[in-house]
Amino acid sequence: MAAKNPIHVTVTGAAGQIGYALLFRIASGALFGPDQPVVLRLLEIEPGMKALEGVVMELDDCAFPLLADIETTTDLNVAFNGTSWALLVGSIPRKAGMERGDLLTVNGGIFGPQGQAIANNAASNVRVLVVGNPCNTNCLIARSNAPEIPADRWFAMTRLDENRAKSQLAQKAGVPVASVTNLAIWGNHSATQFPDSTNARIDGRPATEVITDTEWLQGDFLTTVQKRGAAIIEARGLSSAASAANAAIDSVAAVHHGTAPGDWTSLAVVSHGEYGVPEGLQFGFPVATDGKGGWTVVEGLTHDEFATERIRITTEELVGERDDVADLLP
C-alpha cells in the first residue's frame, strides 16, 4: 500500500511544558494512528526558540518513523502554512496582580493575529484546538478573526476536565475508569465549569444510581474537578502538562476518529443556541463526532435544578468574558 500523505500539525508554544509532553506523542502516531505520517510546524516566540532547538534535537533522536518533517519558526505565516490541525497552546498565563480583563486583552493580542494567519495560510480542511487559557474566549477571539473558516472547525479544550471527572467517579464507585462514559463538561474551562454526573453513566447505568451520595456529587466531586489544576500546581510546583497534552490528543482523536455510538466527548464548540446558550459563545457541550470531521451537540439531555443553576453561572461567566473582549471581535 502506498504511504499516506503526511498531515501537517501546528503546535504553538511548542517549547513549553505542554509542548514537551505533546510533540512526542503526535510524532509517535498516538494522534492519527500508526500508519499516518505527520509534519510538525512549531511556533514559538523568540525567547523560546533556543529551548525549542533542544526539543527538536530530542525529536530527531527518537527517530520516529512517522515524523516526516519538522519546521520551527517565530513567523505565524510559516507556522500555519498548509496546516490541517492547529493546536494553539502558547499563551500568557495569569500573573500576580493581573485582572481577568487584562489577561483576556493580552491573549487577544495573540489569538486575533493567529486566527488571521490560520485563515490566510492553513489547508482548506483546517481544524483548530485552543488549549491556551482562557481557552474558550481565546478560541472565540481567534475564530472571530477568521470568518473565512467555518465556525464548526474551532474547538477549545474541556477534555482534561472530562478526564479528571471520569477518574473521580471511577475511584468513588470502585470501578475501572473505562467504565465511566457520557461525561459532559458544560461551559467554561474555569472554576465555574459544570462536570455533569447526572447524565454520566457507569457500566451503562446512570452514575447517580451507582453513586447515591448526592452530597458528594454536588460537593466534593465538583470542587475537586473544578480546582484540580490548582491542586496539581500545589503538589508539583508546576501546572498540569502531561495530562493536558493527553487531553489535547484525546480531543483531536475524538474529532478525527469519531466518538463511540451512544457516547460523546467534551469539547467547547460554537453555540447555535443549544440548551439556551447564547449563539456564538464557545461553550463546553457534550459533542458526538462522526470521524469525518463532523460533529453535533448531543441534544435532549435533562438537567435538574442544581445543574440548571450551575450551567447558568458558567454561561454568565462566558458572556462576561465575551463582553470584556468585545473590542477584539471584528
Q: What is the enclosing helix (H) or strand (E) of 265?
A: strand 265-270
**Residue with Cβ nearer ligand NAX (140 or 210):** 140
CB 126 within 8 A of CB 118: yes
What Rg, from alpha-carbon coordinates, does the chain have?
19
Taking CB under 6 A as the criterion, the residue among 8, 10, 13, 246 binding ligand NAX is: 13
Taking CB under 6 A as the criterion, the residue among 167, 208, 239, 296 binding ligand NAX is: 239
Is 16 a binding residue for ligand NAX by CB under 6 A? The answer is: yes
Please state the closest distance from residue 5 (CB atom) to ligand NAX, in A.
26
Please state the closest distance from residue 224 (CB atom) to ligand NAX, in A.
15
**Residue with Cβ nearer ligand NAX (136 or 315):** 136
Is 54 a binding residue for ligand NAX by CB under 6 A? The answer is: no
Is 108 a binding residue for ligand NAX by CB under 6 A? The answer is: no
| φ, ψ for residue 47, nearest 5 deg | -60, -20
CA distance 137 to 130: 9
Q: How many helices (H) and strands (E) does the chain have?
A: 12, 14
Residue with cell 502516531: 29
CA distance 307 to 302: 9
Taking CB under 6 A as the criterion, the residue among 72, 240, 265, 271 binding ligand NAX is: 240
CA distance 128 to 135: 12
Please state the closest distance from residue 120 (CB atom) to ligand NAX, in A.
16
> Residue count at the site for ligand NAX (CB under 6 A)?
30
Range 62-101, binding ligand NAX (CB under 6 A): 89-93
Q: What is the dihedral of CA 197, 192, 149, 272, to 10 degrees?
A: 60
Is 241 a binding residue for ligand NAX by CB under 6 A? The answer is: yes
| Residue from 189, 256, 257, 272 carrying the catalytic annotation | 189
**Residue with Cβ nearer ligand NAX (93 or 219):** 93
**3-state helix vs strand vs coil in the chain, percent to 5:** 45, 20, 35
In the complex, the residues that contact ligand NAX under the rule CB under 6 A are: 12-13, 15-19, 43-45, 47-48, 89-93, 110, 131-133, 135, 157, 160, 189, 229, 239-241, 244
